[in-house]
Structure 1
């Protein structure tokens, strides 16, 4: 997935690797029309946090990613179940990445 980041020292476009299931879920999100409108000027933002859910005590965790669909002044937050790998990568991005130097190995033009 091509992901644009706004960082302290500028913007960076990176290649965000996704496994098959995460790719399919995000692809399904961006292929739907979330607003009752004929306009097609949508854009999407991958929100920089992941939630967790546990169905029963000591049960396995389910990770929840978030995408925001924006059209003009309207916005919708869409949750999706994501992999532990996606959740870990999102936590790394949120907690460790502060400048373009931190993501230079992922820059889109390097692939």
Structure 2
């Protein structure tokens, strides 16, 4: 998708890195919550919603991930402003995060996960 948007090789490389590591903050979420079958309760949902912030903190400590740390933080923002953790909306969401959201949604609809 980034290639179709004629993004630079550097931008494409960063988006690939984001695709690989956007959920790195899930290491801070208990397996019981991550792998729970069925609907999450409100406390479990809050735990899940912490993973972008956890991932951001991890990425800030890694020279390799530092360039994408802000995108990791914002990768669950929604166009309508009801995402998390920042409540960004529309074009306030970084383009790279919007690209990831589309690709991730396509992946979810076309695979067993």
Higher relative contact order (CA 8 A, sep 6+): 1
Short-chain TM bin: under 0.3
Query: Higher helix share goes to which structure?
Result: 2
Query: Higher strand share goes to which structure?
Result: 1
The TM-score with structure 1 as length reference comes to 0.28
The TM-score with structure 2 as length reference comes to 0.28
